[in-house]
Amino acid sequence: MSAYIIRRLLYLVPTVLGVCLITFLLFNVVTTGEAIAKQRLGQHATAEQIEAYLKVHGYDKPLLVRFFITMKDLLTFNFGRSEVTHQKITTMIFNGMGPSLSLMVPAFFFTFIISITIALFTALYRNTWLDRSAVVLCIIGMSVPFLAYIILGQYILGYRFKYFPVSGYEWGLGVFKFLILPGLIYLVASLGADVRFYRTVILDEINQDYVRTARAKGLNQNIILFKHILKNAMIPIITRVVVTLPFLFMGSLLLEDFYGIPGLGAMALNAIDGNDFAVIKALTFIGSILYVLANLLGDILYALVDPRVEFK
């Protein structure tokens, strides 16, 4: 196992280098320092102002030197200060993580449990009207834009019927009342795609020989479902969960904006509004690193549920 983990860790090196390279290319080649300076300082900026901006942000150095400086800064998590609020970006990210996690972790957890349960039921009653109507509902649910869910949910449940506060956030346990509605919307909006995915995964397993054998042995249906099928369906399930994990930290852009939750998603939106290049750069990099780490976790989990993975 440890050899496997070390091997996986070594695989991270080229990926992290690639992520640094992409982040660098985005802000140095796709767009240039001059373009950024003009966007930051406005149309009427003088040549001296632009030059000063370039100097402060290190754009006056040659490309290769800039690349190594960017690499060093990114890898030591030295992101500098926001160009709008002038706060340290690491502090901003640290402060934003809590609200994002408090919204996303429970929402994700319940969505996961509920969609797996529904998927198991539909798979169990496959090809009945129950299954068919569930699949149709899933596809219908997938075809509604996320933004429409948010706007209608907030309008109907929050504004019209006043079941929940329309938006807001507070530190401490009182935050619960602010998080139910966005959490609920996350659940409803994700259910369609999730249930359909898990259903396919479970159906792939349910016709396998080992399931027939288990049935022939006279095993209880529940034991077959939960012990045999779910265990074998674990690899694709882990893959899907792992892909979502970084967003628990990063939060949901749209939900946080609509419900006034001061997390990283809202921070990203503010940065876009204010042309805050430094913050966008930092968030892109942090998000990617989280993704890379989540994938590492996924690889370790694969090996735990299926020992054969270690030797591939």
Partner 1 sequence: MGRDKEENKEQIQEQNLIELPVRSLWQDAIHRLTKNRLAVISFFIILLYLTVALLSGLGLIATRYDEQAYKTDPSGVSVLDSYRPPCFDHLLGTDIQGRDVLSRVIQGSWISLRVALTMSVIYITIAVILGALAGYFGGWVDDLIQWIYQTLASIPGLLLIIALTFVLGKGLTNVAIALGLVGWVSLCRLMRAEYLKHKSRDYVLAAKAQGIGDFRIMFRHIFPNTLHIVIISFSLGFIHAIMGEVVLTFVGLGAQSHEPSWGRMISEARAELARDPAVYWPLLSATVAMFIVCLAFNIFGDALRDSLDPKLKV
Number of H helices, E strands in the chain: 15, 0
Beta bridge partners of 88: 81
- Which residues of this chain interact with partner 1, rule CB under 8 A? 14-15, 18-19, 21-22, 26-27, 30-31, 139-140, 142-148, 151-152, 154-155, 159, 246-247, 250, 253-254, 258, 268-269, 272-273, 277, 280-281, 283-284, 287-288, 290-292, 295
Minimum gap (Å) between residue 287 Cβ and partner 1 = 5
Cβ nearer to partner 1, comparing 123 with 253: 253
Phi, psi of 217 (to 5 degrees): -70, -10
Q: Cβ neighbours of residue 137 under 8 Å, at least 6 residues apart?
A: 192
Reading the block at residue 149, the tokens are 């869910």
Q: Cβ neighbours of residue 42 under 8 Å, at least 6 residues apart?
A: none
Minimum gap (Å) between residue 127 Cβ and partner 1 = 15
Question: Dihedral of CA 229/235/240/244: which sign?
Answer: positive
Minimum gap (Å) between residue 263 Cβ and partner 1 = 14
Minimum gap (Å) between residue 160 Cβ and partner 1 = 8
Residue identified by tokens 């996320």 is 146
Minimum gap (Å) between residue 91 Cβ and partner 1 = 20
Question: Dihedral of CA 25/29/34/40: which sign?
Answer: negative
Cβ nearer to partner 1, comparing 125 with 155: 155
